[in-house]
Amino acid sequence: MFKERHVVHFWAYRTIDAFCAALSEEEENGAGAKVDAAEPASGRRGGDDDHPAPPRMRGDAWKSAGVDLDWVKTLIKEKEFQGAVTQLEKVLEKDPHDCEALVWMGAAQAYTQNSLVAARYYRRFVNSCPADKRFKAVRNILEAVEKAR
């Protein structure tokens, strides 16, 4: 049991640090809202073959939930994980497939030593966001967690 918790704790810290660094770099490079290319034109987003759904801009769920990504990152950096989880739940209530919210929720849950819940959010990320640049890293983390169980 201790070994499993130690492994989960280690990858959680590596994950958060990596995401914080990647997001900070993205902000410094001036990256704005991006189209979520992972979503199909038809299916769960409400399009069909004749009338495809328009591309979804990252941040729509965040805006409608009244949640700021920078605030969530600040909460996580200050180890206010429950506050971050509460904010992320609001976003995921608006859009259960929001890639940004799923990856941060997995990381926040991992920090709270809730590896089963973290794995669930990481799995949702892997299933919903195959075109995301963090896909391989999150998939590797998910595989490591599943091996540790």
Q: Give Cβ neighbours of residue 100 (< 8 Å, ≥ 6 apart).
A: 58, 62, 69, 91
Residues 51-75 pLDDT 10s: 444 434 556 899 999 999 999 999 9
Higher pLDDT, 16 or 113: 113
pLDDT of residue 7: 44
The whole model's pTM is what?
0.66
User: What's the pLDDT band for 94 if we cut at 50, 70, 90?
Assistant: very high
Lowest mean pLDDT among 54-63, 78-87, 103-112, 126-135: 54-63
**Which of the 8 DSSP states describes residue 78?**
T
